[in-house]
Structure 1
Amino acid sequence: MSEVVLITGGSSGIGKSIGELLTTKGFKVYGTSRNPEKYKDSLFPILALDVRDLNTIQQTVKTIIEKENRLDVLINNAGAGITGPIEEIPEAEIKANFETNFFGPINVIKSVLPQMRKQRSGLIINITSIAGYMGLPYRGIYSASKGALELITEAFRMELKDFNIKMTNVAPGDFATNIAAGRYHAPILNDSPYQKPYGNTLKLMDAHVDKGSPPNLMAEAIFNIINSKNPKIHYKVGNFMQRFSIVLKRILPDKLYEKLLINHYKL
């Protein structure tokens, strides 16, 4: 029997790559999008779901369970980027980012847990970010929302261990996707004290995404995690320096690590 997989944000980028690979490997995959009608030629079904809307989450999960009688894997992939000086990002945009990157995934998890508990099996994979391991300049809100998801996964794992439900984080580095096009950019204001450093950092960030790894590397990593008997708590997928940056943060004094970031972003 094919394992049933739900991928939020499965219409493009990393989510689409994961869905296509798993489909070719024999999984029964359901992706989601806020506008599923745009993706009629998708290799796997795309259902309507907005992670900021609890009704759409519950309805989609119900639809899949009614059709398949089970749900084996949830991949919490839907997310949104956000950049800007923290002082200048409107509060509404900060809250909207946490709704998508933190509260949304929690609500999807809550919606699948009763079925997984009934099955006494299930795997939940939260796609976070290497940026969630450190407070990055002009990406502080994104770092915070992804870092929060990393931490809550650690707590969830211990709460779910008696039900044979496994949970893990996968933190990608920079991947060549359209995330830059979809993220909220605080405008570079001519009269802003942050105009020059923010402008330079934004160019650097976009260059990193453009030169990022192909999304199929993430798809392969997810496939291997699904097939592992006992998934780790944290995985990192990206180039060597991105993964190594987390190791450095662990071993270097805080101020020295901060200096490395300042030099990297030419601040």
Structure 2
Amino acid sequence: MPKTVLITGGSSGIGKAMGEYLSKKGYQVFGTSRNPEKITGSFFPLLKMDVNQTESIQAVVAEVIGKAKKIDVVINNAGVGITGPIEETPESEIMNAFQTNFYGPINVIKAVLPQMREQGFGHILNITSIAGYMGLPYRGIYSASKAALEITIEALRMETMQFGIKMTNIAPGDFATNIAAGRYHAPILNNSPYKKDYGNTLKMMNEHVEKGGNPLEMAKAVHRIIETENPRIHYKVGSPLQKFSIVLKRVLPDKVYERMLLNHYGLK
């Protein structure tokens, strides 16, 4: 009997790549989208879900259980990007980023845990970000929302392993997706003291995404992790330099690492 996989945010980018790859590998895949009716030609069924709405999450989980009678794997992939000087980022946008990137995945996990506990197995994979390992200029809110998820999953993993449930964090680097088009950009204000630095940094971030890796790399990594009997707590998927930046943060003095980031982004 094939493993049943539920992927949030499965209509584009990394989520779509994972869903297609796992479907071809014989998994029974269900994806989610806020507007599945707008998506044509999906390789796997897309169910209507908004991770910001608890009722929506619970309805989709119930639908998947009703159709498959089990949930083997959940991939928390849905998320939003956000950039801007923290001082100039509206509180509503900060809250939305945390609602989608942190509270959403937690509520998905809460919704599937009773089923996984009853069946005595399950694997929950959370797509975080290499950016969650460091405070990046003009991406501080995004970094913080992903870091919060990483740390919470470390605790939740220990609480639930007694039930035969596995939890894994997968932190991707830059991949060529449409995240830049869909994320919130604080506007570059003409009278802003951050105008020059933020404008240059935003341009650099967008170029990194455009030149990013193929999302198929993430799909293959996720497949390997699902098939691993005892997966690690943390995985990083990205360029060698992106993964090495995490090592440098761990070993370098704080101010040396900070200077390295400032130099990278061309900031004073």
Q: TM-score range by the shorter chain?
A: over 0.9
Report the Cα distance in structure 2 between the residues aligned to 1:36 and 1:231, rounded to whole angstroms.
32
Q: Deviations over 1:24-53 (max 9, x none)?
A: 000000000000111241110000000001
Report the Cα distance in structure 1 between the residues aligned to 2:40 and 2:70, rounded to whole angstroms.
24
Q: Deviations over 1:167-225 (max 9, x none)?
A: 00000000000000000000000000000000000000001001000000000000000
Corresponding position of 1:266: 266
2:206 maps to 1:206 = yes
Identity of aligned residues (%): 67
Q: CA deviation at 1:161?
A: 1.2
Alignment gaps of 5+ in structure 1: none
SS in 1 for 2:26: coil
Q: TM-score, normalised by structure 1?
A: 1.00
Corresponding position of 2:44: 44
Report the Cα distance in structure 2 between the residues aligned to 1:124 and 1:254, rounded to whole angstroms.
33
Amino acid at match of 1:41: G
Amino acid at match of 1:239: S
Q: Deviations over 1:138-163 (max 9, x none)?
A: 00000000000000110011001100
Q: CA deviation at 1:251?
A: 0.4
2:152 maps to 1:162 = no
2:240 maps to 1:240 = yes
Corresponding position of 1:62: 62
Report the Cα distance in structure 1 between the residues aligned to 2:228 and 2:156, rounded to whole angstroms.
19
Q: Deviations over 1:41-72 (max 9, x none)?
A: 11100000000011110000000001111000
Amino acid at match of 1:71: I
Amino acid at match of 2:200: N
Corresponding position of 1:178: 178
- The count of corresponding residues between Structure 1 and Structure 2 is 267
Report the Cα distance in structure 2 between the residues aligned to 1:77 and 1:19, rounded to whole angstroms.
11
Corresponding position of 1:19: 19
Report the Cα distance in structure 2 between the residues aligned to 1:156 and 1:61, rounded to whole angstroms.
19
Amino acid at match of 1:6: L
Amino acid at match of 1:200: N
Report the Cα distance in structure 2 between the residues aligned to 1:164 and 1:250, rounded to whole angstroms.
32
List aligned pairs for 1:104-123, cutoff 5 A.
Answer: 104-123=104-123
Corresponding position of 2:257: 257
Amino acid at match of 1:254: D
Report the Cα distance in structure 1 between the residues aligned to 2:68 and 2:8, rounded to whole angstroms.
17
Q: TM-score, normalised by structure 2?
A: 0.99
Corresponding position of 1:216: 216
SS in 2 for 1:61: helix
Amino acid at match of 2:94: I
Corresponding position of 2:71: 71
SS in 1 for 2:228: coil
SS in 1 for 2:242: helix
Kindly report structure 1 stretches of 4+ aligned residues shifted beyond 4 Å. Answer: none
SS in 1 for 2:167: strand
Alignment gaps of 5+ in structure 2: none
Report the Cα distance in structure 2 between the residues aligned to 1:12 and 1:263, rounded to whole angstroms.
33
2:133 maps to 1:137 = no
Corresponding position of 1:124: 124
Moved more, 37-46 or 254-263: 37-46
CA RMSD of aligned residues (A): 0.4
